[in-house]
Amino acid sequence: MSETQGAARSAKRELRRSLLAARDALGADEVRRAARELASRALELPELARARTVAAYVSVGTEPGTLALLDALRARGVRVLLPVLLPDNDLDWGAYAGEDSLTRVRHGGRMALLEPSGPRLGPQAVTDADVVLLPGVAVDARGVRLGRGGGSYDRVLARLERAGAHPALVVLLYDGEVVAHVPDQPHDRPVKAVVTPSGVRRFGGRR
């Protein structure tokens, strides 16, 4: 790894640590209110209005809440795919069939995740998505997303690129997580839009 890339990784870690600490300070009422507002804003997206299949995720802890959005998409007749974390940090996928279909799974010493309990569809299933809703910690004015650092979604985005799939990439964040600059590396791929409780911001960005 070059000195420049090492510096970028270090800067990412510091920014991630700071923003996650701010999330952890949020109260339960703030998290619930933000989730309702986030769902309302996201459902206004034309990309979601047209979508037949959406790859999403189930929020945990103080992440921007997604369950209300998942249920609203399902009520529209949208096929919602949810990730299943594999031992190598890649993602398999399963269909969302309502909150009762989720299973709490703890992977090693990490935070427990809510994953679909139905049949596994394979890592390639994400290539059928019209929209991919991405978790993140921050995004900047270019659409560069800062993830959790595990690399799972880097693999997903690389898989989409190899397959020639071009879903709309949308990250879901809190308002204060739209920042001036996210240190980026060659593998980072910009998103099309960010949805926060207060609105939607779109990016032109590099492709």
109 labelled binding-site residue: no
192 labelled binding-site residue: no
145 labelled binding-site residue: yes
Q: How far apart are CA 111 and CA 107, in angstroms?
A: 7
161 labelled binding-site residue: no
- Which residues neighbour 115 within 8 Å (Cβ) at sequence distance 6 or greater? 58, 82, 83, 84, 85, 94, 102, 103, 105
20 labelled binding-site residue: no
12 labelled binding-site residue: yes
13 labelled binding-site residue: yes
69 labelled binding-site residue: no
148 labelled binding-site residue: yes
16 labelled binding-site residue: yes
57 labelled binding-site residue: no
Q: Do the Cβ atoms of 152 and 91 come closer than 8 Å?
A: yes
In total, the chain counts a number of residues equal to: 207
58 labelled binding-site residue: yes
Q: How far apart are CA 105 and CA 14, in angstroms?
A: 28
115 labelled binding-site residue: no
15 labelled binding-site residue: yes
Going by the annotation, the residues of the binding site for ATP are 12-16, 145-153
Q: Could you tell me which residues are annotated as the binding site?
A: 12-16, 58, 63, 145-153
